[in-house]
Structure 1
Amino acid sequence: MPVSKAWRERLGNAHDTRQHARQWRARRIRQPALLDFAGNDYLGLAKDPRVQNAQAEGARRFGAGAGASHLVNGHLAIHEALEEALATWTGRERALLFSTGYMANLGVLQALADTDTAIFHDRLNHASLLDGSALSGARSRRYHHNDIDDLTRLMARSACTHKLVVSDGVFSMDGDVADIAALAQVSQQHDAWLMIDDAHGMGVMGVNGSGCVGPRWNSQQVPILVGTLGKALGTGGAFVAGDALLIDHLTQFARSYVYTTAQPPSVAAATLQALTIVQREPEHRERLARHISYFREEALRLNLPLGESRTPIQPLLLGSESHLMLWAERLHHAGIDVGAIRPPTVPKGESRLRITLSARHSRGDIDQLLETLDACRREIS
């Protein structure tokens, strides 16, 4: 059989299998006319004119791209300034920029772990964390979601010298928050390091919006802190924060840092501006918090199947994939964009609408969403 035919059959079978399972994912060009309850721009900073102007000025001053990796000659003064600002914000000694959150997680786990390492994952951790573990060759165990007792049992059975506990800060599909205090305590009891991916907590939670961890938990308690810049900060890229020993190690051994072009300097300039806004203008977080409270109160009053979340991520648990898609289509026709999350992103039977709230929304926007959701509940059996 010709190789080209074998490959085409392989890809065709994968295509047909996913289509048959009704799990095929299709891209839609985002329409400005739609109300956006699907994205992660929690503070509305992606459209803040100050952030937009900072990015334009950064491009004019430093160029559209960095031109090389950080370790060749792509590390510019604006990158250094951003890393210093992020370290201060999170109460860490140093910070290191990565091109994306996915690359940050791959880089950290590949650089730190090996076949003599035991990694303990929350069962609902982001895919990038699981992929990073697989890349490292480490022995991975997954404990029940937010179950410290199960984690303790698994760690007690491990004979590995190097242990690493890994968890999301805010879980991206459920919106609930990890118990940082308990994770830090059990990690220290078992001489393990703790890594928190705070992608969805940064900018939204904590002191000055510094996230679930921030300066409240120091580098002894949470040695590895990962944050992304493309969600609440509204720009792009990611960073890892920790002590100098960790950051020096990642600079030398994290392949997704060493072998990729540095973040565009214009994005770094925009992020510095966004970070200033987050720290100096708490009113954006306060407005978002009011939106979350209002939405939850009204959704529960309407008997919508709301999950347990106090963050901007508000899941409506619908169960079946076919039911979910009917709701999603009804919302789309009403001019509302909401994430329709199906297997394999979530387990079978746990399909949900992933509703995300932003400080940029108005009360009227939320009322429109609630009215449409209520109509879906009444009209779609």
Structure 2
Amino acid sequence: MNTNYNFNQLSERLSAKLTVNYENYLYFGGTAYLGIPQNKEFIEIYTEGIQRYGLNNGTSRGNNIQLAIYDEAEAYAAKLYGAEAALITSSGYLAAKLTVSAFAKFGAIRYAPNSHPALWINGDPGNQQDFKAWSRNLVKEINASNEENWLVLSNSLNNLHPEIYDFSFVNHISSTKKVWLIIDDSHGIGILNGGFSVLQNVPILPNIEVILVASMAKALGVDAGLVLGTERAISKLKQSDEFYGASPPAAAGLYAFMNGQEIYKKAYKKLQANVKLFGQLLPYDSNWLNTDGFPVFLNKEKAIEQRLLAEKILISSFPYPDRNGSILNRIVLSSWHDEVDILKLITALQFE
């Protein structure tokens, strides 16, 4: 943004409202979709976890002395999200990297459009195609190929140009082919399918092995990474050096995750109400792009970030796909916004 203020050196917590240089701003950016980082009830539970387990645990999962909560949280997450088993790491990035590394040699590798860097094996695959067209072509390629084994890597959705991906295309893959499908659900977990994950939308087929990887630091508000899959897949991952040697996340965060489900549900309902209200009040304009239920609204109007800045409103605004690209402007709603915040945003968007 062209401003005299430095918004990337803040010294306060991120929330719906920010104070910069003694001026108050509304903030519609980030990935705290459920507002958990500032949820007082959740913080209370997290504090209980700190009192019980301390601030962190610097020992690896291979240590002979272990906290029971790590196995408990993995079993809890697997049951909650409908998987056979789960693995929890210190970050979503590590969860994805150890998973991709473990299965990289399974077969021919194909990347879906706009896959997250955590899924990359040898740098940016450079796929900017339309997801629907890509998936149709992928099915044709797999079915026509002599290659039997395939590794397909994809995000669950595009959070920049909002689109929730449809994985029903796997129904059309030949049953003679074996496919490992690794899906990064970092922006979907806690949001998709009534507040759960993308797993509920992926067909269950004997020849398709699905592994979900995710950061728990976004909607779920916990600094940890998660892998969901079959008992066989998770067992293999737990034999990896990355899992065995890395320190786990803070136990207090997992304690809050396990004991905060009612808070998540309440926050999810609040978020969906905010998305509905904003969508209903938003003036019709072809410059807007969003997808049902997801709290991100892309705007193509030139310099809209400057117009909103003049009204003391900050949005997500940065060059894409790299620092030399065009500015990508998105409004991100959260459960920490209230109706007054959204009405002020709507008024500013109509301001001429």
For this structure pair, what is the TM-score category when the shorter chain's length is used for normalisation?
Answer: 0.7 to 0.9
Q: Is the 8 A contact 2:69 2:251 kept in 1?
A: yes
Alignment pair present for 1:273 and 2:259: yes
Which one has a larger percent strand, Structure 1 or Structure 2?
2
> Which consecutive residues of structure 2, in runs of 5 or more, have no partner in the other structure?
1-5
Distance in 2 between residues matched to 1:90 and 1:160, nearest whole Å: 32
Alignment pair present for 1:105 and 2:93: no
% identical aligned pairs? 23
Alignment pair present for 1:242 and 2:242: no
Q: 1:127 corresponds to which residue? A: 117
Taking structure 1 as reference, are residues 157 and 34 closer, same or farther at Cα in structure 2, changes over 3 Å only? farther
Q: 1:64 corresponds to which residue? A: 55
Q: 1:8 corresponds to which residue? A: none
Distance in 2 between residues matched to 1:140 and 1:158, nearest whole Å: 21
The CA deviation at 1:259 is 3.2
Q: 2:81 corresponds to which residue? A: 90
Q: 1:144 aligns with which of 109, 114, 129?
A: 129
Q: Is the 8 A contact 2:34 2:220 kept in 1?
A: yes
- CA deviation digits over 1:24-70, x for unaligned, max 9? x9833153543221022222222222221222222221121112111
The CA deviation at 1:188 is 5.3
Q: What SS class does the counterpart of residue 289 from structure 2 fall into?
A: coil
Which one has a larger percent helix, Structure 1 or Structure 2?
1
TM-score (norm 1): 0.78
TM-score (norm 2): 0.83
The CA deviation at 1:258 is 3.0
Distance in 1 between residues matched to 2:312 and 2:88, nearest whole Å: 37
Taking structure 1 as reference, are residues 238 and 366 closer, same or farther at Cα in structure 2, changes over 3 Å only? same
Q: Is the 8 A contact 1:174 1:315 kept in 2?
A: yes
Q: 2:347 aligns with which of 355, 365, 371?
A: 371
Distance in 2 between residues matched to 1:290 and 1:154, nearest whole Å: 42
Taking structure 1 as reference, are residues 154 and 341 closer, same or farther at Cα in structure 2, changes over 3 Å only? farther
Q: 1:344 aligns with which of 321, 328, 333?
A: 321
Taking structure 1 as reference, are residues 74 and 87 closer, same or farther at Cα in structure 2, changes over 3 Å only? farther
> Which consecutive residues of structure 1, in runs of 5 or more, have no partner in the other structure?
1-24
The CA deviation at 1:335 is 2.9
Q: What SS class does the counterpart of residue 63 from structure 2 fall into?
A: helix
Q: 1:180 aligns with which of 158, 167, 179?
A: 167
Alignment pair present for 1:205 and 2:188: no
Q: Is the 8 A contact 2:96 2:214 kept in 1?
A: no
Alignment pair present for 1:27 and 2:8: yes
Distance in 2 between residues matched to 1:363 and 1:183, nearest whole Å: 41
Q: What SS class does the counterpart of residue 84 from structure 1 fall into?
A: helix
Distance in 1 between residues matched to 2:217 and 2:205, nearest whole Å: 24
Alignment pair present for 1:354 and 2:330: yes
Q: Is the 8 A contact 1:187 1:193 kept in 2?
A: no
